[in-house]
Amino acid sequence: METRSNHVLVGGVVLLLLALLALFTVWIARLGGASEKEYDIFFQQSVDGLARGSGVTFAGVPIGQITQIELWRNNIEFVRVRVRVNEDTPILQGTTATISSIGFTGVSQISLDGARKGAPPIACPEGGTGSTCPYGVPVIPTRTGGLGAILNSAPQLLERLSTLTDRLTGLLTDRNQASVAGILENTTRLTDAFADRAPEIAATLAQTRVAIQQAGDAAQQVGALAGTTNNVLARDIQPTVANLNRTIASAQRSADTLNEAIGEARPGLQAFSKQTIPEVGLLVRDLRQTSAALSSIAEKVDQQGAGALVGQSKLPDYKGK
């Protein structure tokens, strides 16, 4: 009976110590929780590999763990993950969350990165929760990456692979295979024809090489001729052009002088045309009259002699009837 009492006493002491240890652990956890912050993350993808207690890293540095994971009641397409991280972790605007796998064990963790230096921290607005904080804690936006991106794009990849397979099946029909075989046969014939004509092709290439070389020589000669022409132009033509320019300049000066002389003589020409020309006309008329009189006198002298100029002409004798 006494031995049994000792066992009960020892068991009671052990249970008391275990209770004190549990209380101490809870107290330590509460003290540690005071220096941590909680955030919600809503993933619209599979969260395979995540569980309560899975790690949370920021730029590869462990900062916390997952405390809750469940389907979001408002929209079952999303999975709500509650994380608890160290209070001094800079969860700033621009920070995003992704699911990353740890090695090949199938275990995953949440990775945070993308915080912008100088940006304000992610926090709930004052005066209520709202859509940005549906459960009273700030929400970290997500970014698809790693295994999640592969899993999300798997349906599209499978669909495209199926479409490609169907197209390949339609392409490799018996008719198309016969066409491909004909193309390969024609290609073989063409290759054989080229092989048979190899010497002729080589001769043609040699002639082409010679023609190209001759064309290069001709181009070189044309370049030399062009250089000679430039020298001739510089030596002979340019002095001639300079003399021609001087002659043109001299002619221009003479034309300018003639224009000035015409301008100065214009008043005299106008007076000549208005006064002198009428007087010359009168003079010409008088000269014509004088010429006519002289012609009459000369005719009279020829007919009647010089005395006709002095005496009067005799009247004819009158004879009675």
Give the pLDDT confidence score for residue 281 in this predicted structure. 74
Better pLDDT: 179 or 28: 179
Nearest Cα to 146, choosing from 90, 84, 97? 97
pLDDT > 90 fraction of the chain, expressed in percent and rounded: 16
Average pLDDT over residues 290-312: 66
Give the pLDDT confidence score for residue 307 in this predicted structure. 57
Res. 149: pLDDT tops 90: no
Q: Is the dihedral of CA 69, 158, 142, 88 positive or negative?
A: positive
Give the pLDDT confidence score for residue 254 in this predicted structure. 75
Give the pLDDT confidence score for residue 111 in this predicted structure. 92
Strands (E), the chain: 36-43, 55-58, 61-71, 79-86, 96-101, 108-113
Q: What is the pLDDT of residues 273-293, one digit of tens each?
A: 676 667 767 777 777 777 777
Res. 137: pLDDT tops 80: yes
**Which residues share a beta bridge with 56?**
64, 110
Give the pLDDT confidence score for residue 193 in this predicted structure. 82
Average pLDDT over residues 265-277: 66
Q: What is the pLDDT of residues 186-239, one digit of tens each?
A: 888 888 887 888 888 888 888 888 889 888 888 888 888 877 777 766 666 667
List phi, psi (to 5°) of 101.
-85, 155
Give the pLDDT confidence score for residue 66 in this predicted structure. 95
Q: Which of 60-64, 75-79, 222-226 has the lowest average pLDDT? A: 222-226
Q: Which of 63-72, 192-201, 253-262, 292-301 has the lowest average pLDDT? A: 292-301
Q: Tokens standing for 191?
A: 């290759």
Confidence of residue 152 (pLDDT cuts 50, 70, 90): low
Q: Which of 26-30, 49-53, 81-85, 115-119 has the lowest average pLDDT? A: 26-30
Max avg pLDDT among 164-178, 214-228, 253-267, 290-304: 214-228
Average pLDDT over residues 176-184: 82
DSSP state of 77: T
Predicted TM-score (pTM) above 0.75:
no
Res. 42: pLDDT tops 90: yes
Confidence of residue 245 (pLDDT cuts 50, 70, 90): confident
Q: What is the pLDDT of residues 110-128, one digit of tens each?
A: 999 888 888 899 888 775 5
Res. 148: pLDDT tops 60: no
Give the pLDDT confidence score for residue 223 in this predicted structure. 82
| Mean per-residue pLDDT over the chain, rounded | 78
pLDDT > 70 fraction of the chain, expressed in percent and rounded: 75
Segment (H or E) for 185: helix 174-196
- Cβ contacts of residue 124 below 8 Å, gap of 6+? 130, 132, 133, 136, 137, 138
Q: How far apart are the first and last CA of the chain?
A: 234
